[in-house]
Amino acid sequence: MLEKLLGRVAATAWVAVFAMAAAMWAASPAWAAGEVEELKGEIKALETQMKALQEKLSALEAASEKSKAQEEETKKRLDKAELHTATDKVSLGLELRSKADSLHYDDIRMAPAPIVNSFFTPAALGGFNGVTLDQARQGMAQMKAFGMIPPADAVEADNDVIFTNRFRLNMNAKVNDQLSFAGRMAAYKVWGDSTEVKFNQGSLGDVLFDGNTASLPHGDTIHLERAYFNYKHDIGPVPINFSLGRRPSTEGPAAEYGMYSLEGGSPLTTIINWQFDGASLNFGLEDVTGIPGAAFKLCYGVGFEGDWGNSYSLNDTRSDVEDVHLFGFIATLFNNDAISAELNYAHASDVTDGFTGLTVMPFIVSKQDTNGDGAAEYYFAPNTGGFITRMEPSTNIGDWDAASVLLRSNFSEYFANIDAFLGLSWSHTDPSRISANPYYELMGMGLLSSNGELEDRDGYGIYAGMVFPMPLDARLGLEYNWGSKYWFNFTGAEDSLVGSKLAARGSVYEAYYIQPIFSKYFFVKIGGQYYDYEYTGSGNPLGAPVKIDDANALDALNAINDEVWTAYISATLRW
C-alpha cells in the first residue's frame, strides 16, 4: 500500500517538472545558461525530497510491522500472566507411592471353637445366648474357679505379598503475607479392593473411623485428610499464628526420617497420629527468650460429636454421650537446626468406648428384656450375611492424659551427616465407668479395665532411632520402640497394615534403606519390621491388658497378635 502511494507521488512530481519545463521552453526558447543551471538545481532538490519521502514512508511501514509484532507479544505475555495469576491462587503438589508388603503372623492367639460357639448356644442349654449380666458373670467366674477356661489356640497366618497405592494431592495458597491455606486430599487402596469397609478381626484399624479415613487403605475414594488456614500477626516481638480447620495431626515428629521428608504434622507422633478437626494458637518466643526456635502452641480438637447422626442424638428418651474434646500444648524448648527438644502434652476428657465408624462385625450383640422380669438378656447372632454395621459410642468411660519429650540431633558439624532421636512418653488413664456397649458390658470392660474394676493406670513408652548416610546419597535407618503394659496413645492413623507400632505394648524393631533416584522427588525404600507384643490390646482403650503368655480363651475372643514380621519395598514419586 505504501509502495503504491509512493509511486503516485513520484509520478505526479515528475509530471509537474516536465510541465514546468515545457512552459518555460515555450515562453523563452533562448534560455540563458544560468537559468538552465537553476532549473537543474531545482530538479535535483526535488529528487532529494522524493528520496527522503520514500525513506520516511519505508520507515513508517517497518515501524507498523514492528508495532504489530509487539502487540502480539504483549498479548501473549498478558495471557500468560493471567494464567499464572490464576494458578498461583492454589499451588498443587502430588505424591504417589506404590508399595509391596509381605506379612507374617506367628503364634496368633484365638479362642477355640467350643468357646466361641458357647455364645451362640441358648442359656437353657448351658450357653451364654440369652443370659442376664449377673448370670454371665457368675458363669465366667465359675469357669475360671474350676479351671474350665481352656487356653487360647495358637495359629500362624501369612500374606506373602499385598500391594497398595497411596495417592496424595497437596494444596497450598498464599493470600498475602498474613493469610494462607494448606490442605491435602488422599486415596489409599489395596490392589484389587475398593470396598472401604473391612471385616472386623478385633483391631481398631478394621474400622473406618473419621480419624483414619485417608491414613489407612480404604478404597479408591478421595478423602479430606487436612484443610486449614493460617493467620499470622505480630504483637511486638512475638509472632502469633492462629489456625483453624482439619488439622495436620498425622505423621508428626519423628516420623519424617522414615518418610524421607520434612515434618508432616505438629503433634509428636509418639502420642498422637490421628486425623481430627480443631484449632491451634502458636506464639514464637525466640526473640523474647533468646532461645533458638523457642515457641509455644495451644491445641484444641474434637474427637467425637455426640449430637450428630447417632441413635441418641437430640433424643430425650435415651442417655446422651458427651462430645470428646482434646486439649494440649506443644512447646519447642530449643531448636537451632542441629539440636532440638520438644514437649507435647495432651488431655482428652470424656473418652468414649469407641468412635463412629463402619465395619463388618463377625457377630451382633443385643440387649433386651424379652420376658419382662426387669433384667435384660444378652443375645448373640452370627453376622452370616456380612452386613455393614455403623458403630457408635455408647458410653463416656473416663479421661486420658499423655506427655512426650522428643530430642533430635544431627551430627554433621561434628563428624558425619547422622541423625538421631529419642522420645520418652507417659500416659495416664482415669476410668469413670464400665462401657454400656452390650459386649463390653458383658465382659466388664472400661478404660484399660476389666471385670468391673476401675483403676487409674500409668503407661510408658520409648521411641529411638538413628539414620546413617550411605553411598549414592542413600540413607539407612534403624528404629526401636517399646510400650509398657498400660501404655495407650492415639496413633491409630499410623501408616501400617499390621497396626501402629508406636501403640505396641511390647517391642518393635525396624530397619529401612532409602535410595533416591531423582533427589527427593523419586526414591525407593526397602525395609522390614519385627513386632514382639508382650500384652494384649495394643492401641485399644477397652479392657485390662493381659500378658500374652497367660491369655486364655476368653481373653482371645478377639485375635491376639504375639509376633509379627514384615518386609516391604516401595517406590515414591513426590512433586
What is the arithmetic mean of pLDDT over 215-232? 97
What is the arithmetic mean of pLDDT over 304-332? 89
DSSP structure string for 235-282 = ETTEEEEEEEEE---SS-TTTHHHHTSS---SS-TTTB----EEEEEE
What is the arithmetic mean of pLDDT over 452-474? 97
Tell whether the model's pLDDT for residue 201 goes beyond 70. Answer: yes
In whole angstroms, give the CA distance from residue 433 to residue 383: 29
DSSP structure string for 303-329 = EE-TTSSSTTTT-TTS---PPEEEEEE
In whole angstroms, give the CA distance from residue 324 to residue 549: 35
Let me know: does 406 contact 272? Beta carbons within 8 Å: no
The band of 31, judged by pLDDT with boundaries at 50, 70 and 90, is very low
Most confident by average pLDDT, 39-43, 134-138, 140-144, 243-247: 243-247
In whole angstroms, give the CA distance from residue 171 to residue 250: 16
Residue 235 bridge partners (DSSP): 238
In whole angstroms, give the CA distance from residue 261 to residue 526: 16
The helix (H) or strand (E) run that includes residue 144 is helix 133-145
pLDDT at 520: 92
Residue 324 bridge partners (DSSP): 304
pLDDT at 6: 40
Tell whether the model's pLDDT for residue 236 goes beyond 50. Answer: yes
Of 142 and 21, the structure prediction assigns the larger pLDDT to 142
The band of 89, judged by pLDDT with boundaries at 50, 70 and 90, is confident
Q: Is 309 left (phi over 0), alpha (psi -120 to 50) or beta?
A: left
The band of 263, judged by pLDDT with boundaries at 50, 70 and 90, is confident
Q: What is the pTM assigned to this prediction?
A: 0.84
Grid coordinates of 477: 535407618
pLDDT at 320: 81
pLDDT at 264: 80
pLDDT at 13: 41
What is the arithmetic mean of pLDDT over 418-440? 96
Tell whether the model's pLDDT for residue 444 goes beyond 60. Answer: yes
Q: What is the 8-class DSSP label of residue 206?
A: G
Grid coordinates of 117: 460357639
pLDDT at 93: 96
Tell whether the model's pLDDT for residue 53 goes beyond 90. Answer: no
pLDDT at 419: 97
Let me know: does 188 contact 129? Beta carbons within 8 Å: no
Cα separation values, 185 from 46, 169, 520, 572, 574, Å: 79, 5, 21, 17, 14
Using a 10 angstrom Cβ sphere, with 0-12 exposed, 13-18 middle and 19 or more buried, the burial of residue 502 is buried
What is the arithmetic mean of pLDDT over 64-83? 62
pLDDT at 67: 66
pLDDT at 9: 40
In whole angstroms, give the CA distance from residue 300 to residue 302: 7
Q: What percent of the chain shows pLDDT beyond 90? A: 76
